[in-house]
Structure 1
Amino acid sequence: MFNKFSNPTPSVSRTLDVVVAFCFSLGAVATVQAQANSAKPEFIEATQRWLDSAVSNVRPAGAAPLRMEVAVGELDSRLRLAPCARVEPYIPVGTRLWGKTRLGLRCMDGSVKWNVFLPVTIKAYGTAWVIKGDVAQGAVLTDTDAIEAEVDWAEETSPIVISPSQWVGQVALKALTTGQALRQGMIKPAQVFQAGTQVRVVAQGPGFQITSDGQALSVGIVGQPARVRMDGGRVMTGIVLDSRTVKLEI
């Protein structure tokens, strides 16, 4: 019989190699299989409780609370596990409780120690920006291209784009279709001017602001640095604000 699982702690970060202990006689195998089958409902319920607790506070930085749903899969039916009085769940190194993932289970109190992996699916429902009409690859997104709707944040690995300031004015890396949640892997900053373009340079410091003209020496991408030659010949580097403005921090 499986004991109640311990609460999740950071100490369960070490991953062991998968070891499945097989019984040494047909009679023993039959006994173990009968025990495993009879314990299966309790095993699934205990795993579900552990996972529910583990993911209860999972939330990406800056996101509102998400509605988490956890679905526990099944172990390979071909496994023949030796009896164990205490099974401990753990999160394998390099994995996270997000989307389709896995949970480690290891025997801590049995005649033979074993370690297996259980497939799990974790969904995280919350409000996000969703494409409301088809957007062509290379198109610049405007504030009319998306609306807020509830989606599964964990459906894909690419992080959700939380704020309109992160996607309005960005370029679609691929064709986007109605209903798609906007994610970081779908967009990139827009190029707003070419090298050689005349731009306005704004130098700003505590209590003052100076505006001058210059010529871009590199392409301008919103939010990225660009080099500018000033009228006097001096070369400066600033951050591109829009199609005509580069800001210098003094």
Structure 2
Amino acid sequence: MTPRPLLRRLLPATLGLLATVLGTGAACAAEPLPGPAMAAIERLIERQTAGLPGKATVTAALPGTAELPACDAFDAFLPTGAAARGRLSIGLRCRTGAAWTRFVPAYVKVEGTYYVATRTIEPGDAIGLADLTAQTGDLAALPRSVVTNGSELAGARATGRIAAGAPLRKELLRAPTVIQQGQSVQVVAQGAGFTVSTEARALTQAAAGGVARAKTLDGRMVTGVADEDGQIVLSQ
């Protein structure tokens, strides 16, 4: 028998064996967590992402054929400095029964709205509604500074070139100037049940949300935050 016919006879069996091995490996790639452990992880992520601009979901599984030791109740926690987004390890600690701690690979997806440029925006260009569009996607897969609040774009100008289709990032935007140095401004102080305002002269230029300094008519120096109406709001 020549080698070529023999190869033709062995090839189907070899491919079948390879498919079986690969299928078994894929099935063993991850093991689901026990229900109480997964519930502890979901509670943790719900707390950690409560203020994020989007809906967070978490997936987690043990690698390979690993198993968690027996446990009656679980606590989940994040390693020091870890943020609840994207790929990370989540700690599981046995709260009752045997004392042990394990770290589980996980992915936290944050589904939310962000804004992308509809045209190429050059440095210094003002940004209007026609220059952007809202999209929905996984914020965890995007830069942390991506713009998710359309009100942040009102009157903004680009500080760098933004390609068409690129997400808008806060470091590439400059808020509009609402206070010019030397102009007359209102300084506002607010407290529980009262609001007091006085006239002052701006000592610095400021964008909305930026720090502004002014000198009141009686000579006092004040520092506060410029609001969108061009007032200086004093910190409490």
Q: TM-score, normalised by structure 2?
A: 0.56
1:234 to 202, 212, 219: 219
Instruction: Classify the secondary structure of the residue corresponding to 1:86.
Output: coil
Confirm or deny: 8 A CA contact 2:58 2:106 kept in the other structure. no
Instruction: Classify the secondary structure of the residue corresponding to 1:44.
Output: strand
Confirm or deny: 8 A CA contact 1:199 1:246 kept in the other structure. no
* Aligned equivalents of 2:187, 2:69: Cα separation in 1: 70
Residue 200 (structure 1) aligns with? 184
Residue 86 (structure 1) aligns with? 70
* Aligned equivalents of 1:130, 1:53: Cα separation in 2: 36
Confirm or deny: 8 A CA contact 1:158 1:184 kept in the other structure. no
Range moving further from structure 2, 49-58 or 173-182 = 49-58
2:53 to 56, 63, 66: 63
Paired amino acid for 2:86:
G
Q: 1:49 to 1:174 in 2, by over 3 A?
A: farther
Paired amino acid for 2:219:
R
Residue 19 (structure 2) aligns with? none
Confirm or deny: 8 A CA contact 1:140 1:190 kept in the other structure. no
Q: 1:109 to 1:169 in 2, by over 3 A?
A: same
1:7-33 Cα offsets, whole Å, 9 max, x none, are xxxxxxxxxxxxxxxxxxxxxxxxxxx
Verify: 1:125 aligned to 2:111, yes or no: yes
Instruction: Classify the secondary structure of the residue corresponding to 1:144.
Output: helix
Residue 15 (structure 1) aligns with? none
Instruction: Classify the secondary structure of the residue corresponding to 1:61.
Output: coil
Aligned identity (percent) is: 17
Residue 164 (structure 2) aligns with? 178
Q: Report the number of matched residues.
A: 198
2:210 to 204, 211, 224: 224
* Aligned equivalents of 1:97, 1:208: Cα separation in 2: 41
1:82-125 Cα offsets, whole Å, 9 max, x none, are x8742768434222431021134679989xx9865443322222
Q: 1:124 to 1:73 in 2, by over 3 A?
A: farther
Q: 1:106 to 1:224 in 2, by over 3 A?
A: closer
CA drift of 1:152 comes to 0.8
Q: 1:109 to 1:136 in 2, by over 3 A?
A: farther
Instruction: Classify the secondary structure of the residue corresponding to 2:128.
Output: coil
CA drift of 1:143 comes to 3.2
Higher helix fraction: Structure 1 or Structure 2? 2
2:137 to 147, 151, 166: 151
Paired amino acid for 1:219:
Q
* Aligned equivalents of 2:228, 2:183: Cα separation in 1: 10
* Aligned equivalents of 1:49, 1:134: Cα separation in 2: 49
How do 1:2-151 residues align onto structure 2 when only pairs under 5 Å count?
41=28, 44-46=31-33, 50-51=37-38, 54-55=41-42, 57=46, 59-61=49-51, 63=53, 66=55, 68=57, 70=59, 72=61, 74=63, 85-86=69-70, 90-94=76-80, 95-104=82-91, 117-151=103-137
Unaligned runs of 5+ in 1: 1-36
